[in-house]
Amino acid sequence: MRIKIALLTAAMLLISSATIGAQKSKNSTGAKGGWTNYGRDISGAHYNPDETALTPGTVAKLKPKWVFETEGDVSSEPTVVNGVIYFGSWDGKEYALDAATGKKIWEFDCNSPTRSGAAYDDGVVYFGDLAGRLYAVDAKTGEQKWKVRIDQHPDTVATSSPMIYRGRIYMGVASHEEGANLKNPNYACCTFRGGVIALDEKTGKQIWRFYTIPDEAKKIGEATGRGAMGPAGGAVWGTVSLDPANNRLYVGTGNQYTGDPSKFTDSIVALDLDTGKSIWSYQATTPDAFVVGCRNCGPDYDFGTIPLSFKGAGGKRLIGAGQKSGWFHAVDAQTGAKVWSTEVGPGSALGGIEFGNATDGERAYAALAHRSGGAVACLDGATGKILWKTMTPDKRPNYGPITVTGRGDNRLVFSGSTGGFMRAYNAKDGAILWEFDTGGAIAGGPTVVNGVLYVGSGYQFLGVGKKNNKLYAFSIDGR
């Protein structure tokens, strides 16, 4: 009897331990073999080390497996979970497709473009749109559970993808207010304050909010007969990365619109996960007050990339991100102190490093979007030294996110250009091993899961590239 009791007790302990372990690991890294949110996991590294089918020796055999057509450009990064793909289109819809066949499972009409990636958790898909709304939708049926505006400012847009961890959604807040004077010449610019929000996953209720512009805007003068407002700006265009081990969140911020300089614009900022309080900030450019059509302002050097975590010298952990200045910056993860910065290429308001950086934990990779010619570069994480840099053959910008796969000598880098080409690079030396003309500009990130590459085609916003309406799935020999 004692033996039976002991065995039952041990079994109960094992079950309890397994349950706790499962709870602790929820949302920690994303499902193995899946791509549960922007950048694959909550670190946003855009790295799939478990990919083994696609290697430098096999990638040249990639061919279209299927192609799905929408009614608008496709520039969102696909999310792949349990054999289903979730992605948005500029036709104002979010789609769910069978990953094996490309057959549509459901579509959800937002009535506004969805250009960023979706996040999946516990049977629910979360995504934003350019009307500034965040949706929670049943992953199987496409039925809406809830929706909220991420900010009450009328020009708010959701270009940041949601990140989910332990029942909370973390998301950046951006705005198109810096171009409001194009719609209304008498607009009194500006009042928007960018930032980060934390929401309850089940209800969408706000838990905390961090503002990149701490003070509310006030009238600061006159501008061509209309009132000028400020301070304003600091949009968060990119997605935040999460660091649960240190209870932190990292975010890259955009330029200021008006007013005296804020310390949080054009910066990499560390926030407390529980409270949203700032821990440290590293500012790369100041002052940088910019709105569309202004003179003697700018230079409009946002951080649109997701902050990455990788090893520095002596194993010290660094946080790094690419900037529209064309520079990649790396700072100490604990203090935010600058460790190194490297110029990857020339910068501009629509150039430099826009949305494309990734890491395999030891090296950082950056996509250059300058209109004089794009490029993909590999940087040593410890020193920032450029190990290789490959110019884009079509001389078009590499605008969107990039992805790294594999381990050791089997690592590949995937990047698309606004000229329409999707390319695979050897991570060892930057050699181009495969390319395919999708027919439209590529501005969304490539997703690689179980030997299949998924990528959207079509991006016309701000005249960046050619339109298209397709989501591609590529596999070896199209099988």
Instruction: Kindly report the pTM of this predicted structure.
Output: 0.92
Q: What average pLDDT score do residues 3-22 get?
A: 36
Would you give the DSSP letter of residue 206?
E
Burial label, 42 (beta-carbon count in 10 A; 0-12, 13-18, 19+): buried
pLDDT of residue 339: 98
Q: Rounded to whole angstroms, how far apart are CA atoms 1 and 471?
A: 62
**pLDDT computed for residue 235 by the predictor:** 98
Query: In the numeric block, which tokens belong to residue 308?
Result: 């990455």
Least confident of 117-126, 227-236, 326-335: 227-236
Tokens representing 265 are 């614009």
Please list the residues that pair with 377 across neighbouring strands.
366, 389
Task: Report pLDDT for 295.
Answer: 77
Q: How confident is the model at residue 146 (pLDDT cuts 50, 70, 90)?
A: very high
16 contact partners, CB below 8 Å, separation of at least 6: none
How do strand 327-332 and strand 338-343 relate by DSSP bridges? antiparallel
Cα dihedral: 146, 148, 150, 152 (round 10) = 180
Q: Over 80: is that where the pLDDT of 297 sits?
A: yes
pLDDT given at position 227: 61
> Under a CB-based contact definition with an 8 Å cutoff, are residues 264 and 289 in contact?
no
User: What's the whole-number mean pLDDT along residues 70-84?
Assistant: 98
- 16-33 tens-digit pLDDT: 333 333 333 344 344 456
Can you give the pLDDT at residue 13?
A: 36
Phi, psi (rounded to 5 degrees) for 86: -120, 130
First to last CA, the chain: 58
Q: How confident is the model at residue 447 (pLDDT cuts 50, 70, 90)?
A: very high
Residue from 80, 120, 45, 49 nearest 452 by CA? 80
* Domains identified in the chain and CATH numbers: 84-304 (2.140.10.10)
**For a pLDDT cut of 70, what percent of the chain falls above it?**
92
pLDDT at 25: 35
